[in-house]
Amino acid sequence: MDDETQIASILKSSSLYPIPQSLKLSYGTAGFRGDASLLDSTVYRVGILSSLRSLKLNSSTIGLMITASHNKLSDNGIKLSDPSGGMLSQDWEPFADQIANASSPQKLVSLIREFVEKEGIVIGEKSGGEVWLGRDTRPSGERLLRAAEIGVSSVLGCVAVDFGVLTTPQLHWMVRAKNRGLRASESDYFESLTASFKCLIGLIPVSAKNSATLLLDGANGVGGMKMEVLRGFLSGLDVEIRNTGRDGGVLNESVGADFVQKEKVVPLGFGDKDVGVRCVSFDGDADRLVYFYIPENSCGGDKVELLDGDKILSLFALFIKEQLKSLGDEGKETRLGVVQTAYANGASTDYVKEMGLEVVFAKTGVKHLHERAEEFDIGIYFEANGHGTILFSESFMSWLVGKQKELSEGSDEYNAVSRLVAVSNLINQAVGDAISGLLLVEVILQHMGWSVQKWNELYKDLPSRQVKVEVPDRTAVVTTSEETEALKPLGIQDAINGEIKKYQRGRAFIRPSGTEDVVRVYAEASTQEAADSLANSVAQLVKSFLG
């Protein structure tokens, strides 16, 4: 990168966004995230990175999303989508860290020049890089989006396209569609969901339909707003939307999927009047969802029965296995697999294994689960927090579409194939998506004729406890790639195994935090008292080995 015009462009624009002193950021699963008032320089620099990524990949469209998901309103963040609609390639994360933390415009230019030469990226007026931008509803989003635009366009020949307020999954879906040569606007996203939902509703056995009202907690974020738009196109689903953000509620404050999943209490705006009703919560940028209901015996209508990502995964696996079963021997040959993290409740893992499905474990973080799910013909992954999706391989989809043409319309086999094709179009294969996930849950419950209570009876979660232990150096803990066992410090895993043996259905593991000097402890056992005791004893082991 020796072009003087290019260097001058970056030096000039970067002087508008000086890096705050002592700011140190790292690109993780959630991209960069922090106090919005400190992020202008970071967002500007990620704009540059996104342009370089587009040029590196033959001017493919890259997505740049400004969001802090389930974080508090005053935070914000930025993450990139690769052309596939998935997360930014992990190979580029070190470069993201370097340019985000470059101490001066001159250092920034030096890093970019070195990287461009190493990667063989050609920059020029006619290079044609393109970056699509979206943001959630945070007040800081508009300002930060301007910084991203300036960063993108400071790379010669690259353009930014602002799509305004979107859910994170919408932007990922649109980027994936654009790079596959498909129609890729927000209205195309709504159209795809509506058509596939309608197809699945039409294939439900008449005797099964059960369409009681669903109550949606929109987390006072973008998800509720977009669901209101989609609701206008849907028939076969009655949704009442609360916490839309228009009634003075604050984004993610005592509302949303993260709050409900962690606290296991009702979000604001829900209470006694909703006992027994099927409810669902989105998070702030609508890439997670959890279901819940208030049980009959809830004192004060506060506690909830939670149906988290594990329960959603189990429902999806059950439905897809049922369709494959209808395809006879060919269905049996299909590799249907489930990907979980060590945090998945042991009861859910047992349930899926009892179904005869292959279960593999991946390191915590969506990008790791997504990668493992791609190994199957149909790969289902979910984290307990409600983030997940279903992936269909290209070869399996080609076979399925061909099969559909051979079968007699209306036969059981034809209907099963049609359902699988519709699911592949309904679910967002780019990334976890609360809206498409909600539609698939709803259509499966109607297909089964199940209430939310009946769904909850698939299995009973084992009691669990999570504990954080502050340590001088979290890197002293090294785990296996699945994070289920500790390799270092030497001897700690044997000590943990000794504690586990003391408890019925005991299971425990430790893993270092990715962001702070703490070690996370997870434990489960047959009773809550036993899970608490096991977690505490493992925490004590961490202190004694690392103290």
pLDDT digits (tens, 9 = 90+) for 288-320: 999 999 998 766 658 899 999 999 999 999 999
At residue 501, does pLDDT exceed 70?
A: yes
Q: Does residue 433 have a known ligand-binding role?
A: no
Determine if the peptide bond prior to 489 is cis (ω within 30°). Answer: yes
Write down the pLDDT at residue 451: 95
DSSP-assigned letter for residue 245 = S
* pLDDT given for residue 98 in this prediction: 97
Does pLDDT of 547 surpass 90? no
Q: What is the pLDDT of residue 432?
A: 97
**Residue 205 marked in a binding site:** no
The CATH class given to the 4-165 domain equals alpha beta
CATH domain 309-433 topology: Alpha-D-Glucose-1,6-Bisphosphate; Chain A, domain 3 (3.40.120)
Instruction: Indicate if the pLDDT at residue 211 is higher than 80.
Output: no
φ, ψ for residue 149 (rounded to 5)?
A: -60, -45
Q: Does residue 520 have a known ligand-binding role?
A: yes
Span of 2-6, 120-124, 484-488 with lowest mean pLDDT: 2-6
Q: What is the mean pLDDT of residues 52-59?
A: 97
State which H helix or E strand residue 486 sits in.
Answer: strand 486-488
CATH fold of 464-546 reads TATA-Binding Protein (3.30.310)
Would you say residue 208 has pLDDT above 70? no
pLDDT at 209: 64
Q: 140 labelled as ligand-binding?
A: no
Residue type present at position 155:
V
Average pLDDT of the residues in 181-194: 98
Query: Given this model, what pLDDT does residue 28 score?
Result: 82
User: What pLDDT is attached to residue 112?
Assistant: 96
Contact status, residue 87 vs residue 370, Cβ threshold 8 Å: yes
| Domain boundary assignment for the chain | 4-165, 195-307, 309-433, 464-546
pLDDT higher than threshold 70 for residue 269: yes
pLDDT of residue 110: 95
Give CA–CA dist 441/458, Å, rounded.
14
Crossing angle of the two packed helices 4-14 and 40-56, in degrees rounded to 10: 150
Q: How confident is the model at residue 126 (pLDDT cuts 50, 70, 90)?
A: confident
Mean pLDDT of 338-345: 96
Q: Say how far apart CA 240 and CA 336 lie, in whole Å.
A: 34
Region for residue 245 given its phi and psi (left: phi exceeds 0; alpha: psi -120 to 50; beta: otherwise):
left
pLDDT value, residue 207: 67
Please tell me the predicted confidence (pLDDT) of residue 227: 97
385 labelled binding-site residue: yes
Assess whether the region 195-307 and the region 309-433 belong to the same CATH fold: yes
The single-letter DSSP state of residue 537 is H
CA distances in angstroms from 226 to 160, 165, 279, 284, 340, listed in the order given: 23, 9, 17, 12, 29
In this prediction, residue 274 carries a pLDDT of: 94
pLDDT reported for residue 301? 59
* Model confidence at 133: pLDDT above 70: yes
Structure confidence at residue 246 (pLDDT): 86
Q: What percent of the chain has pLDDT over 90?
A: 88
d(CA 443, CA 74): 36
The annotation status of 335 as a binding-site residue, yes or no, is no
69 is catalytic: yes
Identify the H or E element spanning 305.
Answer: strand 305-307
Q: What is the DSSP code string of 319-333?
A: HHHHHHHTTHHHHHH
What is the tens place of the pLDDT at every residue in 459-473?
999 999 999 999 999
- Does the annotation flag 258 for ligand binding? no
223 is in an annotated binding site: no
pLDDT of 520 strictly over 90: yes
Is 495 annotated as contributing to ligand binding? Answer: no
Q: Which CATH architecture has domain 195-307?
A: 3-Layer(aba) Sandwich (3.40)
Contacts of residues 185-191 at CB distance under 8 Å and 24 or more positions apart, as own/partner, are: 190/229, 190/230, 190/233, 191/233
Of residues 13, 41, 69, 533, which has the active-site annotation?
69
Q: Is 287 annotated as a binding residue?
A: yes
User: Which pLDDT score is estimated for 29?
Assistant: 80
Average pLDDT of every residue of the chain: 94
pLDDT classification of 224: cutoffs 50, 70, 90: very high
Confidence of residue 517 (pLDDT cuts 50, 70, 90): confident
CA distance 496 to 499: 5
526 is in an annotated binding site: no
